[in-house]
Amino acid sequence: MLTKAPKGTKDVLPQEAYQWHFIEDNIREITQAFGYREIRTPVFEHTELFQRGVGETTDIVQKEMYTFQDKGDRSITLKPEGTAGAARAYIEHRLYADAQPVKMYYITPCYRYERPQAGRMREFHQFGVEVFGATQASIDVEIISLAMNLFQRLGIQELSVALNSIGCPKCRPVYHQVLKSYLAGYLSKLCSGCKERYYKNPLRILDCKVEGCQPVIEGAPHMIDHLCEECSNHFEDTKRYLEAAGFDYKIDPMIVRGLDYYTKTVFEIISDSIGSQAAVCGGGRYDGLVEEIGGPSVPGVGFGLGLERLLLVMKSQGIQIPQPGVCDVYFATIGEEARVKAFELIQDLRDIGISADMDHVGRSLKAQFKYADKLGARFVGTLGDDELASEELQLKEMATGREKTIAFDDLREYIF
């Protein structure tokens, strides 16, 4: 056990990390273009934040959170998602007093205790955006556009937008009664979890994945048929902006998302290339969240997507992430004096941003060349007593095999 990572976690090895860097670099470029700035929140929060913000009836709070008592006997939870922490920071630091909207993004580890499966881990990494202080449907579509732009930049295809509205505190209670009236005749056919949700939060039943509940769910009345005027207008505006942005979308009345804080717009971006686990991004509007956790009445909207699932989609579509070169020039040396000179030249090259390296384990000259080839070095420079005397080295271009004699003083300019 000591030498195995905990179940549901995964090491990112040095030979894999470039893939993460590639995605994260693209995220930062896209968010900057859209005017979003990074926020970094603690990896753990007070448990009450998630109970009030995410919702006590959600599977996340009831089954999936990593919660423990700290040494001060406080209930602490490793964050299962990024929105609640961002909303807490928005309140604590009085960001509502700044010019609105406040547009933020994060790349953060999250933790949920669930059965590990393809693209779902107990420790996973989430990219999310949050916008506080904007009421118009245009911002709902802006965040969808941001996500789609990222996917397009990464080369991901076969994507579609699924859209729904789950109303607001004015119209949702009416729908709850309609839904409960329908479900009352099918309680015996529902799973034990859904029977409990029937009394606490019937909307959660629509998010159930138990196979036996699906026929009942498929026949359920739809929230979009019971929207108040404000929510209906917002939904129509959202569709209008999606069309203006040129995105294909479909209405999916079954999207309710797994978190209680959502209101009005909810959406998923669907990939057809990873089987049943098709949603690669999900989000929506949460106009009551900031107030629910103790702040002013401020609207919000955002999304989250898992980087592990994103990498899985890219792999399934055969997208090759360019692997950066590890080493521009490698120095193969003979003798201690040559090693010292090579070390000096390496420092000089690194000072101007050229990656350079040398042997540190006492390999033979032949083994040094083999190691340089494994590193993917562009050039290998050979140094021995003759090169030290002439202040020149033999530089071999590994891709072509061409060799050239280069003076030490000219090395920087030649490699650069």
Lookup: tokens for 285: 């509007």
pLDDT of 259 strictly over 70:
no
In the chain, how many domains are there?
2
Indicate if 232 and 307 belong to the same structural domain: yes
Residue 197 counted as domain residue? no
Indicate if 347 and 382 belong to the same structural domain: yes
Residue count of the chain, please give it: 416
Indicate if 237 and 89 belong to the same structural domain: yes
Q: What dihedral do alpha carbons 198, 200, 205, 208 form, nearest 10°?
A: -120
* Burial grade of 229 (CB within 10 A; 0-12, 13-18, 19 or more): exposed
Indicate if 37 and 82 belong to the same structural domain: yes
What ranges make up the beta strands (E) of 57-182?
Answer: 66-69, 75-78, 102-111, 123-132, 159-165
CA 51 to chain centre: 23
User: With a threshold of 0.85, does the pTM exceed it?
Assistant: yes
Rounded CA-CA distance 145/34 in Å is 10
Lookup: tokens for 32: 């900057």
Residue 355 counted as domain residue? yes
Hey, is 176 helix, strand or coil? helix
- In the chain, pLDDT over 90 holds for what percent of residues? 77
Indicate if 375 and 274 belong to the same structural domain: no
Q: Which amino acid is at 380?
A: V
pLDDT of 326 strictly over 70:
yes
Residue 7 counted as domain residue? no
Rounded CA-CA distance 80/112 in Å is 5
pLDDT tens-digit profile of 174-195? 998 999 999 998 888 999 889 8
DSSP conformational letter for 297: S
CATH of the domain at 276: 3.30.930.10
Residue 396 counted as domain residue? yes
Rounded CA-CA distance 358/405 in Å is 19
Which of 212, 215, 219 shows the shortest CA–CA distance to 178?
A: 219
Cis peptide before 215 (omega within 30 of 0): no
Pick 161 or 200 by higher pLDDT. Answer: 161
The last residue of one of the domains, among 316, 342, 363, is 316
Domain range for residue 351?
329-415
Indicate if 266 and 334 belong to the same structural domain: no
The last residue of one of the domains, among 316, 345, 372, is 316
Residue 193 counted as domain residue? no
pLDDT tens-digit profile of 225-250? 999 999 999 999 999 999 999 998 99
**Average pLDDT for residues 242-260, to the nearest whole number?**
87
Indicate if 128 and 246 belong to the same structural domain: yes
Indicate if 56 and 162 belong to the same structural domain: yes
- What per-residue confidence (pLDDT) applies to 363? 96
pLDDT of 222 strictly over 60:
yes
Token pair 């209008």 in the structure block, residue: 240
What ranges make up the beta strands (E) of 8-117?
Answer: 37-38, 44-46, 66-69, 75-78, 102-111
Indicate if 33 and 162 belong to the same structural domain: yes
- What per-residue confidence (pLDDT) applies to 261? 77
pLDDT of 34 strictly over 70:
yes
Q: Confidence class of residue 2 from pLDDT cuts 50, 70 and 90?
A: confident
Average model confidence (pLDDT) across the chain: 92
Indicate if 378 and 304 belong to the same structural domain: no
Residue 5 counted as domain residue? no
Indicate if 27 and 150 belong to the same structural domain: yes
Residue 354 counted as domain residue? yes
The last residue of one of the domains, among 267, 287, 316, is 316
Sorted by sequence, the CB contacts under 8 Å of residue 353 that are 6+ apart come out as: none
Residue 322 counted as domain residue? no
CATH of the domain at 405: 3.40.50.800
pLDDT tens-digit profile of 38-96? 999 999 999 999 988 777 667 777 788 999 999 999 999 999 999 999 999 999 999 99
Indicate if 382 and 257 belong to the same structural domain: no
